[in-house]
Amino acid sequence: MPAALIGLDLDELRHRTEQWGEPAYRARQLFHALYAEGCHDFRRMASLPQRLRERLEREASLGLPRIERRFPSADGTTRYVLRLGDGKTIETVWMPEARRQTLCLSTQAGCPVDCHFCATAQLGLIRNLTAGEIVGQALAVLADHCDDRRPQTNVVLMGQGEPLLNYDATLKAVRLMADPQGMNIPLMKITLSTSGIVPGIRRLAREERRPKFALSLNATTDEQRSALMPINRKYPIAALLEACRQVPLRPRERLTLEYVLLGGVNDTPEDARRLVALTRGLRSKINLIPWNAVPNLPYCVPTNEAVEAFQKILRQAGRLAFIRRSRGQDVAAACGQLALLETPVVTRAHALRDHRLRV
């Protein structure tokens, strides 16, 4: 199997090109061709000499994930199923807006964290992704949109997997994506979301250069959080928030807290008031995510009234709180729906109706 180049940083590329007897500047040209030009054919890497292109053809591969299927949503979102070199599949989501696109990347195939409301949890951990497989998702999907790409790209590490349980590969991928000589996606446009792995948060706090950081809080008491996210038994709320307070925020940066609203479970006014208390003195922004339906899970979508009342309590207490309406629900592309589902499953309307039928 020829060596994969996507995922190598400049030093590693330099090592390769030196072994091939090439001058030092070749590594920079190759880095640029791979990450900035998104050139996915060695023969067309015009900045490289013919003999090196031929050598790359023979002795190297890009190692890009292959697009296996596209599930386009009515709202413009596309869920991609990508096949990795070893045959495993993962998902990546493309979300276009007027002037930018947001890419939602996976950091693991499946996920070992057993959050009870999330479809990815049902896959279990298949394996960690390499840095190349994380960056490769972005390169493959951007290349698929060379005709309708917007000027700016945002990245959220919110696909399959828990990024802080695959720390080194994730951070390497973030650095590669942020490199001004490469993809040039500013660190402030890359968001890492975690279910709350305290040692990982502590490590992140010590990084000189890190992406934006979001914590999936999802509940306001340890009892409730442990029932929804068993990882909370290991890293309870107080320890989590303490670790988050140690992450030095840049000017104007806020810690993002995500809060999935599960109808009748954690969406009551008492929950909202407890959330106000928990976030006192924390420079934060709260994203409320109405639960996206997952087949066979015992939760329901919150009512619009409950979502709005929840937000109102937060806002009246001076918190920045937004309702994040998920995209791509009709093709199982929304938060927590990534489980390699074959067909569109349940829409929000269906979920509500089914729930009403059940009660």
| Active site residue ranges | 91, 335
121 binds ligand SF4 (CB under 6 A): yes
CB 7 within 8 A of CB 132: yes
**Cβ 63 to ligand SF4, closest distance in Å?**
24
Comparison of 22 and 91: residue with beta carbon closer to ligand SF4: 91
CB atoms within 10 A of CB 88: 15
162 binds ligand SF4 (CB under 6 A): yes
Contacts of 240 (CB under 8 A, 6+ apart): 196, 198, 201, 215, 217
Which contiguous run of DSSP H or E holds residue 101? strand 100-104
What φ, ψ does residue 165 adopt, rounded to 5°?
-95, 5
Site for ligand SF4 in 321-340 (CB under 6 A): 336
Tokens linked to 35: 């990450």
Candidate ranges 110-118, 247-255, 271-279, 340-348; the one touching ligand SF4 (CB under 6 A)? 110-118
Candidate ranges 15-23, 116-124, 169-177, 347-355; the one touching ligand SF4 (CB under 6 A)? 116-124
**Cβ 306 to ligand SAH, closest distance in Å?**
15
**Cβ 144 to ligand SF4, closest distance in Å?**
24
Three-state secondary-structure class, residue 235 = coil
The site partner of 258 among ligand SF4, ligand SAH, none (C-beta below 5 to 8 Å per kind) is ligand SAH
The site partner of 351 among ligand SAH, ligand SF4, none (C-beta below 5 to 8 Å per kind) is none
336 binds ligand SAH (CB under 6 A): yes
Determine the longest span between alpha carbons in the chain, in angstroms.
Answer: 72
- Cα 259 to Cα 55, 202, 293, 323, 335: the distances in Å are 51, 21, 15, 10, 12
Tokens linked to 29: 């040209």
341 binds ligand SF4 (CB under 6 A): no
Give residues in contact with ligand SF4 (CB under 6 A): 111, 113, 115, 118, 120-121, 161-162, 195, 336
